[in-house]
């Protein structure tokens, strides 16, 4: 390791609210770090003397985040979240499979290898249901289907998409819930807090205009969120929980590249997410 | 304390964009004139480029 090279690198092609605040928190704690832009990153398969030995991966694109993590790990770096966790959390099916494997509650989900098979799977799951892209976020292209005719029409469009991966279809029951879900932020195995995301449409993504509100974190929700983060191998995660009309709570998603602007605004001074992440990074980089 | 700012040209509409001294490379800002999303590609000297389009696999 080169003595003048910081051990800690921050990998991000877009410096958003989250990355900027994490960098500021690191600086407040006196930690040195190197900013790495994945758009100019390449890794030759051997150990890189100049590369940081510990990389915090905040790349926004799933495939670039996964392969960058994998390549940096191959070159000897420790990456957080790991390449394996990035692989799982960036793909809805891998996340569902990990949650099911860990015995955690999650909505009824099927992965169909063709759009035709997806139509059959929906008959078993029942309507209304949701068809989701395997990769991608902010609720984009997530489609609610209320009956067979609508599902058949949507799947006809899915079949016409050019990418072979698009023809593998993820379908899920639509859990009847209130106009809100619960987002728990987990850092280093600890649930920092929770917020409600309340929206006027059924997709309660902040990117779709949902409003963030503070939610008291119950021990049961904290435990479920920490277990969900552990199930996918993520040190840092945003865990989305939904509560059905009978009060049963299930894990909907685990985000490995958690955005926390809305969460921080809802939490106010109760918690400092950027500082908690900075603290974890410093401890792990020194390990 | 007075805030230090820099000015750079918007690559879309050529208007002058005021840049806060606290910005970081790769941060995204908005042109107040044409509302284009702009990326800070350099802080010394301040230089802007159009921000990349959202890609299919972007998300949290």
Mean pLDDT of chain A: 93
Out of B39, B51, B59, name the one closest to residue A137 (CB): B59
**Positions of chain B with pLDDT under 70:** 1-3
pLDDT of residue A3: 45
pLDDT of residue A200: 76
At residue A275's C-alpha, the angle toward residues A270 and A276, to 5°, is 80
**Cβ within 8 Å, pair A15-B25:** yes
Could you read off the pLDDT of A74-86 as tens digits, one per residue? 989 999 999 999 9
Task: Say yes or no to pLDDT of A49 above 70.
Answer: no
List residues of chain A with CB under 8 Å from any CB of chain B.
12-16, 19-20, 23, 35, 37, 60-63, 90, 133, 135-138, 140, 238, 255, 257-259
pLDDT of residue A19: 97
The residue with tokens 């790495």 is A36
pTM: 0.93
SS3 content of chain A, % helix, strand, coil (to 5): 40, 25, 35
Contact A155, A169 (CB under 8 A): yes
**Cβ within 8 Å, pair A14-B25:** no
CA distance A67 to A48: 16
CA distance A116 to B42: 50
**Cβ within 8 Å, pair B57-A15:** no
């Amino acid at each position: 390791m080169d003595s003048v090279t910081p051990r800690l690198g921050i990998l991000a092609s877009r410096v958003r609210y989250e990355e900027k605040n994490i960098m500021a928190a690191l600086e407040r704690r006196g930690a040195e770090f190197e900013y790495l832009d994945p758009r100019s990153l390449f890794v030759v398969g051997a150990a890189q003397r100049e590369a940081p030995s510990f990389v915090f991966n905040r790349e926004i694109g799933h495939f670039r985040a996964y392969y960058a993590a994998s390549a940096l790990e191959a070159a000897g770096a420790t990456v957080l979240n790991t390449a394996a966790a990035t692989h799982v959390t960036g793909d809805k099916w891998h996340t569902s499979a990990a949650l099911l494997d860990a015995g955690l509650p999650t909505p009824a989900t099927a992965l169909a290898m063709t759009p035709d098979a997806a139509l059959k799977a929906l008959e078993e799951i029942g309507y209304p249901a949701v068809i989701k892209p395997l990769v991608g976020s902010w609720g984009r292209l997530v489609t609610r289907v209320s009956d067979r005719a609508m599902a058949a029409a949507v799947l006809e469009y899915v079949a016409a998409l050019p990418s072979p991966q698009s023809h593998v279809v993820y379908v899920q029951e639509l859990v009847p819930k209130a106009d809100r879900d619960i987002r728990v932020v987990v850092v280093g195995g600890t649930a920092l807090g929770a917020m409600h995301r309340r929206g006027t449409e059924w997709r309660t993504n902040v990117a779709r205009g949902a409003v963030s509100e503070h939610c008291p974190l119950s021990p049961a929700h904290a435990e479920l969120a920490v277990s969900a983060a552990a199930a996918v191998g993520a040190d840092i995660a945003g865990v989305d929980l939904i509560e059905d009309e009978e009060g049963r709570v299930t894990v909907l998603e685990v985000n490995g590249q958690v955005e926390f602007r809305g969460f921080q605004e809802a939490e106010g001074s109760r918690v400092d997410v950027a500082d908690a992440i900075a603290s974890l990074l410093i401890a792990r980089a020194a390990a | 304390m007075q805030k230090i700012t820099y000015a750079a040209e918007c690559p879309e509409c050529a208007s002058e964009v005021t840049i806060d001294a606290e910005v970081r490379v790769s941060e995204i800002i908005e042109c107040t004139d044409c509302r284009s999303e702009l990326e800070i590609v350099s802080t010394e000297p301040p230089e802007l480029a159009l921000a990349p389009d959202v890609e299919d696999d972007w998300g949290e």
